[in-house]
């Protein structure tokens, strides 16, 4: 059933000078979702209103009502019309800022929150653990994946991971390198192996390459300054010489 168009939300976007696409990116929604609120195809949910209010400082109730201009609730004077200047001021507050300093401030607080949640799930202070930690971790992983997707953060996250590259040393005998080149040629090329026919099979060759961590929520995504890769050799490389 079609609802009334949310005039308040439309007016808020106009005040902020944001297109549907830009507004959607700010709150982690799709352009189609924002358009559906504008046209009345879907009603703005309480959860979405709370997120928009948190992102802009506008009064949540005025968004849910959706019939007039957005308002700003003031502790003493009550409600008044929300303006672009209000948004600019809100962006300077702890909750409303969107810069690196703000991110690091929230990071410290969120680290504390995660510590409390994870230790509580592990049965901290309790005699019997109810095996909740794996489920809590999975919930965190799903949340992380959803945030990365909904807020279109993939490129920015990849850029940060690119800055975490580290050198990895790989030491194998020429016999093992040649076997890798036969079985996984693209992998051998990526590491930088070029065969030298003058070298005997037992001679050792060490190559270094730059590696970067991949996106893996719930796991550490930092590499040590110097690492040794052991898994690049062909399967069974050591077993062949045993017996």
pLDDT (tens digit, 9 = 90+) per residue, 174-183? 999 999 999 9
Q: Is residue 159 part of a domain?
A: no
Mean pLDDT, all residues of the chain:
88
Q: Which domain holds residue 141?
A: 100-152
Indicate the pTM of the whole model: 0.76
Residues 108 and 83 in one domain: no
Q: Which residues contact 57 (CB under 8 A, 6 or more apart)?
A: 72, 82, 86, 87, 89, 90, 93, 95, 96
Residues 81 and 29 reside in one and the same domain: yes
Same domain (yes/no): 17, 76: yes
Determine, yes or no, domain membership for 55: yes
Looking at the structure, do residues 46 and 22 belong to the same domain, yes or no? Answer: yes
Q: Distance between CA atoms of 104 and 100, rounded to whole angstroms?
A: 6
Predicted local confidence at residue 242, as pLDDT: 42
- The CATH number linked to 71 is 1.10.260.40
Q: What's the rounded Cα separation, in Å, for the pair 41 and 210?
A: 50
Last residue of a domain, one of 90, 110, 132: 90
Q: Do 77 and 104 share a domain, yes or no?
A: no
Residues in the chain: 243
Q: Is residue 180 domain-shared with residue 118, that is, in the same domain?
A: no
Task: Identify whether residues 14 and 71 lie together within a single domain.
Answer: yes
Instruction: Please give the tally of structural domains in the chain.
Output: 3
Query: If we measure between CA atoms, which residue out of 75, 87, 73 comes closest to residue 26?
Result: 87
Interatomic CA distance for residues 97 and 106, integer angstroms: 10
Cβ burial of 87 (10 Å; 0-12, 13-18, 19+) is buried
Instruction: State the pLDDT at residue 167.
Output: 83
User: Residue 24 in 3-state DSSP?
Assistant: helix
Which of 129, 152, 175 terminates a domain? The answer is 152
Mean pLDDT of 213-228: 80
* Any domain includes 187: yes
Query: How large is the average pLDDT for residues 221-240?
Result: 55
Inside any domain, residue 1: no
Encode pLDDT of 66-96 as tens digits: 998 999 977 656 678 999 999 999 999 999 9
Q: Which of 32-41, 51-60, 192-201, 216-225 has the lowest mean pLDDT?
A: 216-225
Provide the Cα torsion 5, 11, 16, 22; round to 10°. Answer: 20
The reply to whether 158 falls in a domain is: no
Same structural domain for residues 233 and 195?
Answer: yes
Q: Which of 13-22, 83-92, 148-157, 223-232 has the lowest mean pLDDT?
A: 223-232
Choose the final residue of a domain: 90, 112, 141.
90
pLDDT, greater one: 130 or 75? 130
Query: Given this model, what pLDDT does residue 239 score?
Result: 44
């Amino acid at each position: 059933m079609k609802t009334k168009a949310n005039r308040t939300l439309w007016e808020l976007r106009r005040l902020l000078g944001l297109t549907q696409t830009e507004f959607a990116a700010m709150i982690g929604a799709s352009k189609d979702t924002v358009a559906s609120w504008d046209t009345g195809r879907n009603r703005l949910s309480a959860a979405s209103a709370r997120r928009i209010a948190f992102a802009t400082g506008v009064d949540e109730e005025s968004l849910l009502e959706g019939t007039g201009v957005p308002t700003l609730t003031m502790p003493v004077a009550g409600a008044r019309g929300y303006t672009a200047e209000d948004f600019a001021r809100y962006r300077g507050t702890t909750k409303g800022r969107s810069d690196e300093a703000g991110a690091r401030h929230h990071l410290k607080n969120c680290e504390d929150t995660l510590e409390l949640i994870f230790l509580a799930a592990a049965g901290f202070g309790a005699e019997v653990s109810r095996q909740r930690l794996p489920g809590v971790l999975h919930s965190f992983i799903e949340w992380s994946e959803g945030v990365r997707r909904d807020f279109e953060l993939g490129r920015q996250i990849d850029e940060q991971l690119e800055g975490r590259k580290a050198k990895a040393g790989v030491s194998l005998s020429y016999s093992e390198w040649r076997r890798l080149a036969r079985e996984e040629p693209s992998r051998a090329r990526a590491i930088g192996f070029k065969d030298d026919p003058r070298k005997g099979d037992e001679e050792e060759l060490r190559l270094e390459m730059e590696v970067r961590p991949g996106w893996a929520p719930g796991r550490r995504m930092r590499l040590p300054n110097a690492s040794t890769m052991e898994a690049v050799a062909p399967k069974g490389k050591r077993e062949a010489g045993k017996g």
